[in-house]
Amino acid sequence: MKQIISLGAGSDTRFFRIQDRDHSASTVTHFRGRPDLIYHEIDFPENTAQKLAVVSRINELSECIKPPVSLSSSKGTLDGPVDSLTSLNYYVHPVDLRTLDSSKEPPSSFSTIDFTLPTLIISECCLIYLDPTTADTVALYFTKHLFPAHMPLGLILYEPIRPHDAFGRQMISNLATRGIILQTLRKYGSLEAQAARMRAYGFEGSRGANVNELWEFGVKQPEKERVAGLEMLDEVEEWALLAAHYCVICGWRERLDVDKSEDEEKSEDQKIWGDKKIWRSWERFPEEAGRVV
Ligand SMILES: C[S@@+](CC[C@H](N)C(=O)[O-])C[C@H]1O[C@@H](n2cnc3c(N)ncnc32)[C@H](O)[C@@H]1O
C-alpha cells in the first residue's frame, strides 16, 4: 500500500484519473484502478463541499471510490454542507492548513491518515499562497510532526520560480492585479533555494527541474508528438519563457532507523521499500534535467 496526500487539492482530478487508468494487472476484480493506493485531499471546507457535490452527481467519478463511502459535514449538523468523505481509497479533509498546530490535537479527520505507509505529499501551487513562515510550519507539521522520522516520505512541490527577472516581475504584477499574491515566491525563487528548503524539511535527497527541462528530458518523444498533434503552438518562445518560471521539486527520505553501514541489511531494506516508494522515478530522473541533488 502507498499513500498520497494532496495539500490544497482544489478541483484537481488526479485521484480519478489514476483510478480510471487500465491496470489490467490488478488482482481485484470488482474494482478498477489501483488497489494499492490511498488518496487524501485537503482544502478549505467551502472547496471540498463544492467538489463533493460534483463527485456525487457524476457516476464515472463516484465509481472510482471504493465503498463503504461515508459523507459528512464538518459543521457537525445534519443539514450542514457535505464537505468530508471517507472510504477505503479516497478521503477528503475540510481543513484550513493554517490551523495545523503541532502543540494541539490534529483535526479529527486526520485519524484516517495511515502514518505507517510510504507516503507522497503533493503541493501543486498551494503552499505558495501561505506566508513563508506558515508554509514552512505546515510542511514541517507533516514531515516532522505527523510522520515518524523513520517512515519513508516524499514531498513534491509545483510552483513558480525566478521572480527577479523581467518576465518574473511581470508575472508577479499581472497576478497581483487579480488579487493573487504568491507569498513564498521570493524566499523560494530558485531551484537551489527549493533544494535547501527540502533539506530544512528533513529530506535527505531532492531533485528538481523547471518545466522546460522536464519537457525536454522527462517527456518521451511519442508523448511530445501526441501533445503537438492536439494543439498547434506557434508561440513556442513565450511558452519556453513561461515554463522556465515554473518548477517541480521532489524531496525524499529513506527509513532512518536502518544502519546504512550494514550493507546486507541495507539491501534487504531496499528490497522491502524500494518498490513501494512513489518518488522512485524522481531518484532516477535524468541527471541533466535534475540539476539540484
Ligand atoms: C491554485 S489552487 C491549486 C489546486 C490544485 N492543487 C491543482 O493543482 O489543481 C490552490 C488551492 O490551495 C487551496 N488552499 C490555499 N490555502 C489553503 C489553506 N490555508 N488551507 C487549505 N487549502 C488551501 C485553495 O483553496 C486552492 O484549492
pLDDT tens profile 269-285: 344 334 445 555 666 65
Percent of the chain with pLDDT over 90: 66
Q: Is the CB of 185 under 6 A from ligand 1?
A: no
pLDDT at 163: 97
If one compares 66 and 234, the residue with the highest pLDDT of the two is 66
In this predicted structure, the answer to whether residue 194 has a pLDDT above a threshold of 50 is yes
Question: What CATH number does domain 2-292 carry, 3.40.50.150, 3.30.465.10, 3.30.160.40, 3.40.50.2300?
Answer: 3.40.50.150
pLDDT at 289: 55
Q: From ligand 1's centre to the CA of 257, what distance in Å?
A: 34
Q: From ligand 1's centre to the CA of 96, what distance in Å?
A: 10
pLDDT at 20: 78
Q: Is the CB of 8 under 6 A from ligand 1?
A: yes
Query: At 73, is the pLDDT very low, low, confident or very high (cuts 50, 70, 90)?
Result: very high
pLDDT at 269: 39
Percent of the chain with pLDDT over 70: 82
Q: What is the model's pTM?
A: 0.88
User: Does residue 111 come out as left (phi exceeding 0), alpha (psi in the -120 to 50 range) or beta?
Assistant: alpha
Q: Is the CB of 98 under 6 A from ligand 1?
A: yes
Q: What ranges do the domains of the chain cover?
A: 2-292
Q: Is the CB of 46 under 6 A from ligand 1?
A: no
If one compares 103 and 1, the residue with the highest pLDDT of the two is 103
pLDDT at 75: 84
If one compares 254 and 159, the residue with the highest pLDDT of the two is 159
In this predicted structure, the answer to whether residue 260 has a pLDDT above a threshold of 90 is no
The residue to mutate among 13, 43, 124, 185, having the most atoms of ligand 1 within 8 angstroms of its beta carbon, is 43
Q: Is the CB of 158 under 6 A from ligand 1?
A: no
pLDDT at 33: 74
Mean pLDDT within 236-248: 93
Q: From ligand 1's centre to the CA of 41, what distance in Å?
A: 10
* Closest atom of ligand 1 relative to the 47 alpha carbon: 25
In this predicted structure, the answer to whether residue 259 has a pLDDT above a threshold of 60 is no
Q: From ligand 1's centre to the CA of 126, what distance in Å?
A: 5
Q: Could you read off the pLDDT of 21-54 as tens digits, one per residue? A: 655 555 444 556 788 899 999 999 999 999 999 9
Give yes or no for a contact between 75 and 81, defined as CB atoms under 8 angstroms apart: yes
In this predicted structure, the answer to whether residue 268 has a pLDDT above a threshold of 70 is no
Q: From ligand 1's centre to the CA of 129, what distance in Å?
A: 8
